Amino acid sequence: MSDALYDLTLVVPCYNEADNIPLFYKTATECFEQAGVGIEIVFVNDGSQDGTAQLLRRVVESARGKHAVQAIDFSRNFGKESALYAGMQAARGNNICLIDADMQQTPHDALRMYHLLMENADVDCVAACQVDRKEGFVLKLFKRAFYRTFNGMADDISIPANVSDFRVFRRPVRDALLALPERERFSKGLFAWIGFNTLEIPYEAEQRAA
Strand, helix or coil at 1? coil
- Round the CA-based radius of gyration of the chain to a whole number and report it: 17
**Run of H or E including 14:** strand 6-14
Whether pLDDT at 32 is above 50: yes
The yes-or-no verdict on residue 35 having pLDDT over 50 is yes
Phi-psi region of 195 (alpha: psi -120 to 50; beta: other; left: phi over 0): left
Q: How far apart are CA 128 and CA 6, in angstroms?
A: 22
Domains and CATH numbers, the chain: 6-203 (3.90.550.10)
Instruction: Determine contact, residues 18/80, Cβ cutoff 8 Å.
Output: no
- Residues 134-172 pLDDT 10s: 555 555 555 555 446 545 555 566 666 678 899 999 999
Q: What is the pLDDT of residue 192?
A: 87
User: What is the percent of the chain where pLDDT is above 90?
Assistant: 69
pLDDT score of 188: 83
The answer to pTM > 0.95 is no
**DSSP-derived secondary structure for 152-204:** HH-SS----TTEEEEEEEEHHHHHHHHH---SS--HHHHHHHH---EEEEEE-
Average pLDDT over residues 37-50: 97
pLDDT at 82: 96
Confidence (pLDDT) at 203: 87
Of 24-33, 79-88, 112-121, 130-139, the least confident: 130-139
Q: Which residues contact 12 (CB under 8 A, 6 or more apart)?
A: 24, 41, 42, 43, 44, 87, 99, 100, 101
Tell me the Ramachandran region of residue 116: left when phi exceeds 0, alpha when psi lies from -120 to 50, beta otherwise: alpha
CA-nearest of 81, 83, 86 to 184 is 81
Q: How far is CA 88 from the centre of its chain?
A: 9
Residue 147: what pLDDT?
47
